Amino acid sequence: MKRYFGRKILVYLLTFFLAVTIDWMIPRFMPGDPIRNMLTRVSVSSNPIAIQKMYDYYSHLFGLDLPLWQQYFNFWKSLFQGDLGISTYIFPTPVAKVLLRAIPYDGFLLVPSILLSWYAGNKFGAFAARSKWLDNTVSPLGYILTATPYMWLGILLAWFFGIVLGIFPIAGAYSYSMSPNLSWRFIGSVLHHWFLPFASLFLVGFGGWAIGMRNMIIYELEADYSHYLGALGAPKKLIRKYAFNNAVLPQITGLALQLGVIVAGALVTEVVFSYPGIGYLLLAAIQNQDYFLIQGCFLFIIIGVLLANFTIDIVYILVDPRTRRGMTGETA
Amino acid sequence: MKRLPIVLSILVAMSMLFAACAPAPTEAPAPVEPAPEQPTEVAEPTEAPAAEPVAEPVPTEYPRAETLYVSGAAWGPASTWNPFQPGSLANTTGTIGYVYEFLYAFDPQSGELTPWLAESGTWSDDTTFDITLRQGLTWSDGEPLTAEDVAFTFNLGQQYEALWFSPMWRYVESVTATGDNAVQFKLSAAPLYQEFSNNLYNVPIVPKHLWESKSEEDITVGANEKPVGSGAYMYLTNAEDRNVWVRNENWWGKEVFGTPAPKYIVDIRTSSNNVALGMVLKGELDLSNNFLPGVAELANKGYVKTYFAGPPYMLSANTAVLFLNTTKKPMDDAAFRRALAFAIDVPSIVNVAYAQLVKAASPTGLLPVLEKFDDQDVLASLGYSFDTEKAKQMLADAGYVDVDGDGFVEAPDGSAIELQVTCPNGWTDWMAAIDIIASSSQTAGINIQAAYPDYGAWNTELQGGTFDMTLNNWASMSNTPWTLYNLLFRHPIQEQMQSGNFGRYENQEMFDLVDALAQVPSTDVEGMQAACSDIQELMLTDMPMIPLWYNGMWAQWSDSTWTNWPDENAASPTLPTTWSGYWQLGGLQTLINLKPAGE
């Protein structure tokens, strides 16, 4: 057990280190200069001394006048102190503050949609595999849903439910006529605005999981052990239970693999619905070459994806007896 | 099957951990003070005594009938309320105009400076300008606004070079309070009158009693949260995607200008233009100042209102100019540049790329509101218009012929010409426009390809002068043609050109002409016209850059909650815009003129 986790944690730490290093490098390889972008349109250029002074001032402020290796070193140093730097695009707000404002919305959107679509998709896929009629109608729908780009589904939902039917808002995280407060009206408004972006993430995920589960169940029901159980006279319900337990394992692996895609999907969905998570921030940060905000956004994504993968590793131990035995050195 | 509930409960527990990294989602992202539970209906403003600002509870809900929803001004979350903040940062918040005010306003339709904080201003001689402030001016914290505040503000420019208006101190000798309401500007010989009058309506006046104790850093780059100004609105709250302003019920200007109709203004930052469009159609947004392609169609069907009922639908806000990098071949050749001006299919840009939402620009580049400074004789002899055949002829005359038979001309020295025209990626209207620039130039035999770097990369190329040709429109509507010509012929040429003359056109004669224009007193219209004629003649002969079309003052609105928007039929139309820098150009008057629907 200890060895297993020791190894896992080492791998995760190494991944984290590499991912964060790449995260630090990529914005700096982009062509352009964040300070120049920030100072764009300042009317002081008729005064060359003033403009150079301002440029130097800001370069120093952001530590961009140092050699690269030193910037990299300082980056890790301040990262361990919890300091993510100051955004150039929304100067002078600290990146940590910007992210803290935005991340709750991401969690609020991502966590329910990932878990619910996974759970409902698997349940439904297993269910659909039982009935020919359901299989014929639901499978094509699932294929369509899972192939839909998140953004496109989002636009369709916004157009139909937001504009044609007018029953859901199309933008914002809560009504533009409210300021946050603890009241049922406000909570209702939050849920009302949350529903469509959630639904577009949920539906795409749901289609994929349902299809996957349906195929896995059919495969497992055709496996030798199922036929053997059947020949022994076991009830159909029991056979399906075993089939489901086996079929769910690849789905868990699939979830780990899909996380990155889902997070990226959530980012574009947020742009479609003007939802104030990090989606729009990241887009704007990249366009404005805001090194620090880009780093911060990706750092959040890296930590999120790694944590979720780690969780899935633990889940694996719980659901797959083979992993557990292998770990404790038992032999099957 | 038995294990699944366990699995799920673990997943849920983990997800909670995941979510616990951050505060609960329903928590306020905005720094709202813990306000007592408010009834949904906000109580009518109790007349707070002017001297002591009572900490009014922050309302949790803004009644629809009292609230104006706008978008298109903010490009990011509000981060600073410092009116001196460089770049476009403070511009996104409405700080300047709502909260901080100016000595003067400028009415672009009549072309006149109109007094704002000032009551009157007189030139007692060529270098002395005396301003009398209005009586009873107050800051929103109740303190009186006096001549001391005005003098203090302008003197900050002398003290700190990092402030954008600091260069005016090259010719300003002193700004002093000569009485409670009197300010005197002493200028040196040969002042830049044009810049001076421009600054009169662009330098926001800040309260001395709050700013004099601030450090240099606080003044130049501080965020200035909870700003105290003298204007018609006050900061209420902000979040990732919105800024909320509340009317200053004690605004001194109520008696002078009138009361702005909306009690609350919610300035929404939409993440994409289709969101803004959807919100206007739903009546959730009263005024959108976003560029919405295809809005002409919606205006024709009556879904939205625009300034003009027909093309170009929008007022012209600024000139899209094609800057040519004159340090590169063959753009260093005036004959080539002039031929290019004839090769570009501006009618298609107007009709196809913009679907008639814009107007073709005058070859002088001046906006329609500055039309009186266009020299018609110069235009008649040196103006240009789309004419492929003529462009081909001009190229041939200048020695640009197709030697190798690939359909594109080569330079007179035989070298191949391969140029790029650029604009930032994602600026869809400009991307469509440079596609047309490239294709119509190719038809005339000039090999130009369109390219769309990211904004940051584009900006670096622009200022560093490594581009071939690119679009730019950074001279906004103004009281003087000098604003545009200062952008086009900014000098001296430096390694980095931050705000003008990106093509590094070096011609001392032109620089002298622009400097001469800058020194004409802004009351001397004939003198300005004469100076402009000289500039225009040289500009159209040498063609260092090519003005192509006027970008619109994008504005589409809905009448469902607020009416009496300015349009072409209004008696004295103001500007229907919330863009920064336009509040003092009549934007505020638009708010004052609004009427609740159904009245």
Give the torsion sign (CA, B473, B479, B480, B482): negative
CB-CB neighbors (< 8 A) of B21 in chain A: 103, 107, 303
Q: Tell me the per-residue pLDDT of B216-255, one tens digit each, with 9 for 90 and over.
A: 888 987 888 889 999 999 999 888 888 899 999 999 999 9
Give the number of A-B residue pairs with CB atoms closer than 8 Å.
Answer: 283
Q: Tell me the per-residue pLDDT of B383-398, one tens digit each, with 9 for 90 and over.
A: 999 999 999 999 999 9
In Å, how far is A330's CA from the nearest CA of chain B? 21
Does A166 contact B282 at a Cβ distance shorter than 8 Å? yes
Give the torsion sign (CA, A145, A150, A155, A160): positive
How much of chain B exceeds pLDDT 90, in percent? Answer: 57
Q: Which of B38, B89, B240 sits opposite A276 (nearest CB)?
A: B240
Does B38 contact A87 at a Cβ distance shorter than 8 Å? no
Q: Tell me the per-residue pLDDT of A182-220, one tens digit each, with 9 for 90 and over.
A: 889 999 999 999 999 999 999 988 998 998 898 888 888
Could you tell me if B61 lies within 8 Å of chain A, comparing CB atoms?
yes
pLDDT at res. B41: 38
Asked casually if ipTM beats, i.e. exceeds, 0.90, the reply is no
Cβ of A275: how many Cβ atoms within 10 Å? 29
In Å, how far is A246's CA from the nearest CA of chain B? 10
- Top residue of B196, B498, B501 to mutate, by most chain A CBs within 10 Å, is B498
Mean pLDDT of B330-352: 94
Does A101 contact B239 at a Cβ distance shorter than 8 Å? yes
Q: Which of A190, A280, A284 sits opposite B26 (nearest CB)?
A: A190
Q: How far is it, in rounded angstroms, from Cα B111 to Cα B369?
A: 7
Beta strands, E only, B223-363: 233-239, 242-247, 264-268, 287-288, 316-324, 359-360
Could you tell me if A43 lies within 8 Å of chain B, comparing CB atoms?
yes
Averaged confidence pLDDT in chain B: 85
Q: Using alpha carbons only, what angle is made at residue B60 by residues B55 and B61, rounded to the nearest 5 degrees?
A: 125
Asked if residue B286 lies in contact with residue B557, where contact means CB atoms within 8 angstroms, the answer is yes
Half-sphere exposure in the Cβ direction for B587 (13 Å, CA): 23
Least confident span in A94-103, A323-332, B269-278, B370-379: A323-332
> Is the predicted pLDDT of residue B173 greater than 90, yes or no?
yes
Mean pLDDT of B359-377: 92
Helices of type H across A222-277 = 224-231, 236-272
> Is the predicted pLDDT of residue B256 greater than 50, yes or no?
yes
Q: Which of B32, B165, B474 sits opposite A180 (nearest CB)?
A: B32
> Is the predicted pLDDT of residue B419 greater than 50, yes or no?
yes
- Top residue of A176, A251, A306, A313 to mutate, by most chain B CBs within 10 Å, is A176
Does A176 contact B1 at a Cβ distance shorter than 8 Å? no
pLDDT at res. B409: 94
Q: Tell me the per-residue pLDDT of A81-137, one tens digit each, with 9 for 90 and over.
A: 888 888 888 888 889 988 888 888 988 998 899 999 999 999 888 888 777 888 888
pLDDT at res. A86: 86
- Top residue of B241, B270, B493 to mutate, by most chain A CBs within 10 Å, is B241
CB-CB neighbors (< 8 A) of A101 in chain B: 29, 77, 239-240
pLDDT at res. A319: 82
Q: Quick one: which of B447, B441, B334, B348 has its CA closest to B391?
A: B441
Q: Quick one: which of B19, B566, B597 has its CA closest to B306?
A: B566
pLDDT band at B93 (very low <50, low <70, confident <90, very high): low
Q: How far is it, in rounded angstroms, from Cα B456 to Cα A89?
A: 11
> Is the predicted pLDDT of residue B95 greater than 60, yes or no?
yes
Least confident span in A11-25, A126-140, A151-165, B465-479: A126-140
Asked if residue A311 lies in contact with residue B11, where contact means CB atoms within 8 angstroms, the answer is yes
Q: How far is it, in rounded angstroms, from Cα B459 to Cα A46?
A: 18
> Is the predicted pLDDT of residue B325 greater than 90, yes or no?
yes
- Top residue of A29, A40, A246 to mutate, by most chain B CBs within 10 Å, is A40
In Å, how far is A22's CA from the nearest CA of chain B? 20
Q: Which of B30, B86, B269 sits opposite A180 (nearest CB)?
A: B30
Averaged confidence pLDDT in chain A: 85
Does A155 contact B274 at a Cβ distance shorter than 8 Å? yes
